């Protein structure tokens, strides 16, 4: 069975080399030369992955990638950027688009084949794990583009609201930070596309695990924040252990990979009644998470 790839390179020699390398693996390949053609062809052909030069005619690769991510049919198609130098690679890193990787010239054709294999089924896998929902502009403004969970800025608004409510009504409030162990190693070994898929599946797994009153979102690059109103220290410790054990038993099945991923958790709780104590919960949880990472990972620490 073969994959379908779109190659967009302004240098015909580079495009030909990539096309030949992919065809050696029995993949189907379409080559285009402009950024506008990338968007048109991707929407029309629905490739499994796109190799995309940073610099292209009519529309840059970066602009084309932003357009592809904004359109529902191509929102989850993996993109492997082709940077001609370190400055272009830095531009790719700065735009922080989900489900993207970057190769820098001179391109190693063995590496090209490896990245093609990794990206082959990732798009369909992501759609299956993180179904696209009807999202209006307001929803998109508060969601993390990769995981489709709340992003950190919106989570801080929710935490401030819950901190005030806890202080006013004297009800307990807890927070949990859930950090994916060894994500950098996963990225180095299997590629960033696989690492992003692990983050997506972790986020969706946490979302399914949430209780009615809990709120979950993506806090930083590799960790998630859970805000748990009406939850005291005893309960949040038990909740954290439940999440840790469940994640350790979960199998991340990604194409030919069957990954066992663990998480470390830092938790903190307040009894309510003291707004300052409530607002300090996140800092305490961060300290606890750092201790969990330093003392062996796959563990829960209380701050």
Would 183 be classed as within a structural domain? yes
88 and 226 fall within a common domain:
no
Determine if residue 298 is left, alpha or beta; phi over 0 gives left, psi from -120 to 50 gives alpha, anything else beta. Answer: left
Q: Residue 80 sits in a domain of what CATH number?
A: 3.40.50.2300
102 and 225 fall within a common domain:
no
* pLDDT values of the chain reduced to their tens digit, one per residue, 303 residues: 688 999 999 888 999 999 999 999 899 999 998 888 999 899 888 899 999 999 998 889 999 998 888 887 888 899 999 999 999 999 998 888 888 999 999 999 998 988 888 888 787 777 777 666 555 566 667 888 888 899 899 999 999 989 998 998 999 999 999 999 989 898 888 888 888 889 998 999 999 888 888 999 999 878 999 999 999 999 999 999 999 999 999 887 665 667 889 999 999 999 988 888 888 999 999 999 999 999 999 999 999
Would 269 be classed as within a structural domain? yes
Would 128 be classed as within a structural domain? no
CA angle 103, 107, 108 (to 5 degrees): 105
Q: How far apart are CA 204 and CA 149, in angstroms?
A: 8
197 and 248 fall within a common domain:
yes
pTM: 0.76
37 and 82 fall within a common domain:
yes
Q: Residue 218 sits in a domain of what CATH number?
A: 3.30.70.270
92 and 168 fall within a common domain:
no
The parent domain of residue 76 ranges over 4-120
- Give the pLDDT of residue 295: 94
157 and 273 fall within a common domain:
yes
Would 65 be classed as within a structural domain? yes
Q: How far apart are CA 252 and CA 262, in angstroms?
A: 11
96 and 234 fall within a common domain:
no
- Give the pLDDT of residue 115: 86
193 and 286 fall within a common domain:
yes
Contact 196, 146 (CB under 8 A): yes
Would 92 be classed as within a structural domain? yes
Would 56 be classed as within a structural domain? yes
107 and 173 fall within a common domain:
no
Contact 245, 280 (CB under 8 A): no
36 and 90 fall within a common domain:
yes
6 token code pair? 């779109």
152 and 288 fall within a common domain:
yes
Number of domains making up the chain = 2
Q: With the C-alpha atoms ordered 23, 25, 30, 36, is the resulting torsion angle positive or negative?
A: negative
57 and 148 fall within a common domain:
no
Nearest to 88 by CA among 61, 110, 115: 61
């Amino acid at each position: 069975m073969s994959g379908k790839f779109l190659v967009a390179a302004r240098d015909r020699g580079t495009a030909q080399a990539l096309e030949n390398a992919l065809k050696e693996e029995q993949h189907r390949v379409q080559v285009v030369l402009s950024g506008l053609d990338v968007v048109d062809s991707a929407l029309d052909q629905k490739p499994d992955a796109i190799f995309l030069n940073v610099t292209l005619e009519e529309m840059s690769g970066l602009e084309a990638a932003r357009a592809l991510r904004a359109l529902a049919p191509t929102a989850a198609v993996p993109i492997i950027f082709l940077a001609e130098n370190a400055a272009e690679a830095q531009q790719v890193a700065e735009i922080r688009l989900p489900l993207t990787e970057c190769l820098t010239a001179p391109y190693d054709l063995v590496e090209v084949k490896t990245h093609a294999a990794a990206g082959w089924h990732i798009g369909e896998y992501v759609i299956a794990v993180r179904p696209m929902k009807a999202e209006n502009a307001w929803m998109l403004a508060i969601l993390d583009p990769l995981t489709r969970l709340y992003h950190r800025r919106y989570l801080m608004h929710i935490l401030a609201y819950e901190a005030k409510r806890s202080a006013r009504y004297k009800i307990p409030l807890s927070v949990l930070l859930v950090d994916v162990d060894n994500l950098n190693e996963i990225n180095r070994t299997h590629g960033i596309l696989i690492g992003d898929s692990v983050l997506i599946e972790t986020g969706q797994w946490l979302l399914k695990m949430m209780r009615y009153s809990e709120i979950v979102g993506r806090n930083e690059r590799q960790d998630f924040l859970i805000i748990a109103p009406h939850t005291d220290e005893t309960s949040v410790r038990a909740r954290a252990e439940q999440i840790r054990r469940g994640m350790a038993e979960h199998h991340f099945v990604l194409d030919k990979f069957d990954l066992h991923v663990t998480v470390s958790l830092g938790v903190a709780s307040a009894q309510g009644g003291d707004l300052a104590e409530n607002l300090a919960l996140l800092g305490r949880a961060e300290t606890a998470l750092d201790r969990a990472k330093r003392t062996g990972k796959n563990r829960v620490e209380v701050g």
